[in-house]
Structure 1
Amino acid sequence: MPPPALSLSDLAKSVPGGRVLFERLNLELAPGEFIAIMGESGVGKSTLLNLIAGLDAPDRGQVAIDGVDIARLDEDARTRLRRDKVGFVFQAFHILPHLDLAQNVALPLALQGAREGEALERAAALLAEVGLEGRAQAYPKELSGGEMQRVAIARALIHRPTLLLADEPTGNLDPDTAARVLEVFAGKAREAGAAVVLVTHSEIAASAADRTFILGRGGLVARHG
């Protein structure tokens, strides 16, 4: 039986000044499972994503990705784990303007040492799958916000990650564009078999998830209905 894609055990985190964001936070995410995390501004949703990614350290508790306790890794090993096992989609896209779309999408493969030709070929194929066929040599300045986010989704999935972390990925998009991008995002993540943690304020975005949680000081509370 494969290990959980993500396991959070007794996680606690405070901010400078001593304010507790959350404590006793527990979660187990199966391979391919899609969850949404909601909550008021300032409760620590983005901080939780940083803890999961190993970009920040909890005050207490354990984060394990694909069965690996990230606290037991040195910084180089954590970087490799993120590179190989985790994909990221952000509200602000973070697409590099001086690279064409295929080069942007191929970046995770380049970091893994893949051959350039093979990486660009895979990137062009994935761009076509997210609705950008024939645009591999276009540059970010030529794209709309919705198209930029499709590029970001393709980049996050190109290396077939175990875990996909998404921080308000439709927050900069109008409602109609957001709905279309969300459909692409959810569909491609499920096709890839990636577990997804989506942080969002949007009820529409959260509706794409298998389970929705509310984050508060006591941890994650499952929302029903």
Structure 2
Amino acid sequence: MPDALPLSLSGLTKSLPGGRVLFQDLSLQVRPGEIVAVMGESGVGKSTLLNLIAGLDLADSGRIEISGQALDSLSDDVRTALRRDNIGFVFQAFHILPHLTLAQNVALPLVLAHAAQREALERADAMLARVGLGGRGGDFPAQVSGGELQRIALARALVHRPALLLADEPTGNLDPQTAERILDLFSTQVRESGAAAVMVTHSERAAAAADRILTLTSEGLVAAHAA
């Protein structure tokens, strides 16, 4: 039997509280090492789609499978553990904790998974080196730039070797030069780790880093142009 895909969506429908349908009958499969970019107009539901995949929100109908496990068949506790162990999330606003060092921020997914503190910090330092911030683990977020914060967010999302990486506007707040470096780093780390990745973006330049570019509409995902 073949290994389960990191992400499989089928027949997904989501409406807003007022009744407006964001999208319906949405399906998507993502393979290990593949980056899929999702574009679309503001308000169409791109961030909502990421939250559904991460189990942070619930769909009206349809099926979401992460590494072969259907989210709707799991209890809240098991779904939380699946998200912790299998998903890395790069938030648009970074969500780096200011009172923790860079290494402690990156180590958080490992700490939440009950890894030993020494091992967690060693792996965090190694991950910081991979994103070009070696030797900076003892610094605090206030001591680094916006582009460096984005690299820290990416390191944190990858440190526990997730099967699936989700990124919400990963270059949205960055200047073009820094954005280019982040995209190169993002692509390299995804392919080296074998993670599948779904990236929501308004940027055509960011989308061009993906293997597939899809547009989110009320009818689901439709193919855009080739990357």
Q: Which amino acid aligns with 1:117?
A: R
- Where does residue 136 of structure 1 map in the other structure? 137
TM-score w.r.t. length of structure 1? 0.98
1:184 equivalent in alignment to 2:185 = yes
1:168 equivalent in alignment to 2:158 = no
- Where does residue 10 of structure 2 map in the other structure? 9
- Where does residue 205 of structure 1 map in the other structure? 206
Structure 2 CA distance for aligned equivalents of residues 130 and 62 of structure 1 = 34
Q: Which amino acid aligns with 2:201?
A: T
Question: After the TM superposition, which residues 72-151 of structure 1 pair with which residues of structure 2 at under 5 Å, given as runs?
Answer: 72-151=73-152
Structure 2 CA distance for aligned equivalents of residues 90 and 186 of structure 1 = 17
- Where does residue 195 of structure 1 map in the other structure? 196
1:21 equivalent in alignment to 2:22 = yes
Q: How far did 1:42 drift?
A: 0.4
Q: Which amino acid aligns with 2:146?
A: G
Structure 1 CA distance for aligned equivalents of residues 99 and 176 of structure 2 = 29
Q: Which amino acid aligns with 2:175?
A: D
Deviations 1:168-213 (A, max 9, x none): 0111111111111111111111111110000000011101100000
Q: How far did 1:224 drift?
A: 2.4
Q: Which amino acid aligns with 1:43?
A: V
Q: Which amino acid aligns with 1:94?
A: H
Q: How far did 1:6 drift?
A: 0.6
Q: Which amino acid aligns with 2:181?
A: R
Q: Which amino acid aligns with 2:156?
A: R
TM-score w.r.t. length of structure 2? 0.97
Q: Which amino acid aligns with 1:189?
A: V
1:221 counterpart SS class: strand
Structure 1 CA distance for aligned equivalents of residues 60 and 121 of structure 2 = 41
**5+ residue gaps in structure 2?**
none
- Where does residue 220 of structure 2 map in the other structure? 219
1:98 counterpart SS class: coil
Structure 2 CA distance for aligned equivalents of residues 51 and 125 of structure 1 = 31
Ranges of 4+ aligned residues in structure 1 off by more than 4 Å: none
- Where does residue 55 of structure 1 map in the other structure? 56
Structure 1 CA distance for aligned equivalents of residues 62 and 28 of structure 2 = 12
RMSD of Structure 2 on Structure 1 (CA) = 0.7
1:151 counterpart SS class: helix
2:132 counterpart SS class: coil
Structure 2 CA distance for aligned equivalents of residues 100 and 221 of structure 1 = 42
- Where does residue 156 of structure 1 map in the other structure? 157
Structure 1 CA distance for aligned equivalents of residues 159 and 213 of structure 2 = 26
Q: How far did 1:15 drift?
A: 0.5
1:22 counterpart SS class: strand
Q: Which amino acid aligns with 1:135?
A: R
- Percent of counterpart pairs with the same letter? 64
